[in-house]
Amino acid sequence: MAEENKRKEIHDLGEFGLIDHLTKSFKLKQASSMLGIGDDAAVIKNGDQMTVVSTDMMVEDIHFSLSYTPMKHLGYKAIISNLSDIYAMSAVPHQVTVSLAISNRFSVQALEELYEGIQSACDLYNVDLIGGDTTSSNKGMIISITAIGSVAQDELVFRTGAKPGDILCVSGDLGAAYLGLQILEREKQLYDSHPGVQPELDDQKYLIGRQLKPEARGDVIENFRKYKLKPTAMIDISDGLSSELFHICHSSGVGAFIEEGKVPLHPDTEQTAIKFQLDPITCALSGGEDYELLFTVDEGDLEKIRFMPNVYIIGDIVDKKDGITLHTTGGNVHPLKAQGWQHLQS
Ligand code: ADP
Ligand code: MG
Give me the residues near ligand 2 (ion), CB cutoff below 5 Å: 40, 85, 236
Binding site membership of 238 for ligand 1 (Cβ less than 6 Å):
yes
- C-alpha to C-alpha distance for 53 and 44, rounded to whole angstroms: 8
The pLDDT assigned to 3 comes to 64
What ranges in the chain are assigned the alpha helix state H? 10-23, 71-87, 108-124, 176-193, 205-212, 218-226, 241-252, 267-275, 280-286, 302-307
Q: Any idea which ligand is nearest the CA of 56?
A: 1
The pLDDT of residue 197: 66
Answer whether 85 contacts ligand 1 (Cβ < 6 A). Answer: yes
Pick the residue whose CA is nearest to atom 17 on ligand 1.
37
**Contact residues for 126 (Cβ-Cβ < 8 A; gap 6+):** none
Which of these, 2, 7, 52, 287, lies nearest to 152 by C-alpha position?
52
**How much is the pLDDT for 200?**
65
Query: Ligand 2 center to residue 55 CA distance, Å?
Result: 10
Q: Which atom of ligand 1 is nearest to the CA of 41?
A: 14
19 lines ligand 1 (CB under 6 A): yes
Distance in Å, CA 109 to ligand 2 centroid: 31
Neighbour count for residue 281 (Cβ, 10 Å)? 22
CA 56 to ligand 1: nearest atom: 4
Among 13, 16, 19, which is best to mutate for testing ligand 1, by the most ligand atoms less than 8 A from CB? 19
Distance in angstroms (rounded) separating the CA atoms of residues 239 and 139: 26
Distance 321 CA to ligand 2 centre (A): 26
| Closest atom of ligand 1 relative to the 239 alpha carbon | 2
8 A C-beta contact, residue 229 and residue 305: yes
The verdict on the CB of residue 23 being under 6 Å from ligand 1 is yes
Longest distance between any two alpha carbons in the chain, whole Å:
64
The closest-lying atom of ligand 1 relative to the alpha carbon of residue 88 is 3
- Please provide residue 46's backbone torsions phi and psi, each rounded to the nearest 5 degrees: -140, 75
Chain centre to alpha carbon of residue 288 = 7
Consecutive H or E run containing 152:
strand 142-152
Instruction: Convert 86-106 into a string of H (helix), E (strand) and C (coil).
Output: HHCCCCEEEEEEEEEEECCCC
The reported pLDDT for the residue numbered 1 is 54
Query: Which numbered ligand comes closest to the C-alpha of 55?
Result: 1
What ligand 1 atom has the least distance to the C-alpha of 40?
Answer: 3
Q: Whose CA is nearest to atom 19 of ligand 1?
A: 19
Residue 201 pLDDT? 66
Q: According to the model, what pLDDT value does residue 199 have?
A: 63
Q: State the distance from the centre of ligand 1 to the C-alpha of 250, rounded, in angstroms.
A: 15
The ligand 1 atom at the shortest distance from the C-alpha of residue 238 is 2
From the CA of 39, how far away is ligand 2's center (Å)?
Answer: 7
Q: Measure Cα distances from 42 to 137, 157, 230, 266, 313 in Å.
A: 28, 12, 19, 33, 28
Query: Which atom of ligand 1 approaches the CA of 54 most closely?
Result: 16
Instruction: Please name which of 90, 171, 193, 80 lies closest in space to residue 127, comparing C-alpha atoms.
Output: 80
140 to each of 42, 60, 105, 106, how far by Cα in Å?
Answer: 29, 5, 9, 10
Cα 38 to ligand 1 centre (Å) = 7
d(CA 73, CA 99) in angstroms, rounded, equals 17
What tens-digit pLDDT sequence spans the chain (346 residues)? 566 688 999 999 988 899 999 999 999 999 999 999 999 999 999 998 999 999 999 999 999 999 889 999 999 999 999 999 999 999 999 999 999 999 999 999 999 999 999 999 999 999 999 999 999 999 899 999 999 999 999 999 999 999 999 999 999 999 999 999 999 998 888 777 777 666 666 678 999 999 999 999 999 999 999 999 999 999 999 999 999 999 999 999 999 999 999 999 999 999 999 999 999 999 999 999 999 999 999 999 999 999 899 999 999 999 999 999 999 999 999 999 877 544 444 3
Q: How many residues does the chain have?
A: 346
Distance of CA 52 to the CA centre of its chain: 16
With 0-12 / 13-18 / 19 or more C-beta atoms within 10 angstroms meaning exposed / middle / buried, residue 328 is middle
**3 state SS for 3-46:** HHHCCCCHHHHHHHHHHHHHHCCCCCCCCCEEECCCCCCEEEEE
pLDDT value of position 2? 62
